[in-house]
Structure 1
């Protein structure tokens, strides 16, 4: 997609546009964002692991296909709406 030379040109343009005064602020902001992202990813990974160290599995819910014309009123969930 992008080669090294294209990325270098983009970085030079960003430095010129933003100026040298805003560059440290921009890098600090990027660093904070990266730390927050890393901490959130670690928290999500920790939440997916059970207390005994095993990874929690998702709950499987079995469904069934119901024909709207032949289903009893108890089987209907309201979607799709009944045909009139």
Structure 2
């Protein structure tokens, strides 16, 4: 993905231990909502049902797994320190 490639480049260019191109957004519901919207889907339908399927969630989780492996997003122990402040 473009954002993944850019984040990996930022991580590499920073040359600082522990610095990554972006946060780990795998558990961020608003990011998931935007990601789904880009694919013509939503978290929930107008009727209150789930608006995505297993394939969508598998792709979402695989994207973030790849980001972690590439060092493009924060490591889980670092991300866990984010308190949203």
- Give the TM-score category using the shorter length: under 0.3
TM-score (normalizing by structure 1): 0.27
Higher RCO (Cα < 8 Å, 6 or more apart): 2
